[in-house]
Structure 1
């Protein structure tokens, strides 16, 4: 059993991941920006915390007490929500990656210093984060010609392109980061089914779209996430996951 923090726990992916984590006996901290909006999140083995993944003070604090962090945040959950959002912050995902990695690194350094000074047991102990799993976006997968989905106007709506570019910038930041963190970005397909059953089965791909592999249930996305926390198979990379 481990302690897992889930940023964006109030969303569809975050809720599914929380459910899967608890079903396997993990303790969960559900991190949301406004806990008052999610009175139903707290439960047995689940504590709710207020926090923004873009705030390094928050990520550092979370990193102190958890072995794994999942990031399932988004500024908007769909086209209508994006339209209501108005001006999209193009740095949303980049800032999130920066704060996440800085927070984890800060705690790693503090633990090392504590060990050298013999300060264990004085508020700086803990195993620290050993795994980061982030949820990606299918729009920056590529087709057989090597073109990203977001660059194909027939496959991806032009009005969602700024959101896709912001997501892609976050992925690029991860790839370029000078970090020791063991991160993974799991990228689900275009069609995620909120009512789909948990089958416990999924396939893992790479950067290229697999024809016909365009569906997955949120429940099975959650299975893939917790599998990669319990038994990491992919490290410091991005993979796709589909049914």
Structure 2
């Protein structure tokens, strides 16, 4: 049986990936900061963990086939104070911790849920630089997220990583269709359901098609 670890299992993306993985018979270990706050999680096992606790990651992920980073440092757009106070190195440190941890125990696959703001428009301009695409109060968060993507792209590692970047509009209530399209660094679509984001994630675990790159996904 395929087994995966999901960091951020308590969030919308993490819950969607858990549901899709279990739908396909994949065993899920969900990692959250405080399991006591997540009694409703359906993961096969829920454990305490922090993405930036680099020393603990090897033990958390050992023996699994893949790891998904679905962590958001804040609970949503309403948490502006948390996003504004985010360490600019957060996603760089997360990338380093995950790559080192997975490599040290031989876990081959890492999938990261990306951020639309570091896609570009048709002219090659980053969306995070366009206030019409990203409100200024979220720019700090987007810059930090982009630094994490840059770190993944710059390192030499045995880990087969992939960043899957959904569009700005992720719908938590839209039904699963099992369909999605993929693209590159240029924004190509505006909507996607969390359920179909999860389909894309689990597809890339069961039958990997993209390797050490970033792929945009949309409906």
User: Shared fold by TM > 0.5?
Assistant: yes
Counterpart among 94, 98, 113 of residue 135 in structure 1: 113
Cα RMSD of the aligned pairs, angstroms, is: 1.2
Q: Is the 8 A contact 1:54 1:97 kept in 2?
A: no
- Residue 24 of structure 1 pairs with residue 2 of structure 2: no
How many residue pairs match? The answer is: 219
**Structure 1 segment 40-79 matched on structure 2, within 5 A:** 40-42=40-42, 46-79=44-77
SS at match of 1:133: strand
1:5–1:66 CA contact under 8 A, matched in 2: yes
CA contact (8 A) 2:22 2:28 kept: yes
User: Once the two structures are superposed, what CA deviation does each residue of 1:157-193 show, in whole Å capped at 9, x if it has no partner?
Assistant: 0110000001001000100112111000000000000
Unaligned runs of 5+ in 1: 109-128
Larger radius of gyration: 1
> What TM-score results when the alignment is normalised by the length of structure 1?
0.87
Residues of 1 paired with 2:129 and 2:75: CA distance?
A: 21
Secondary structure class of the residue paired with 1:185: strand
1:219 matches 2:195? yes
Whole-angstrom CA distance in 2 between matches of 1:149 and 1:88: 20
- Ranges in structure 2 where 5+ consecutive residues have no aligned partner: none
Question: What corresponds to 1:121 in structure 2?
Answer: none
Moved over 6 A (4+): none
- Within 1, Cα distance between the matches of 2:194 and 2:118? 19
Q: Describe the superposition over 1:35-65 as per-residue Cα deviations: whole angstroms up to 9, x where unpaired.
A: 111011145xx10011111112222112312
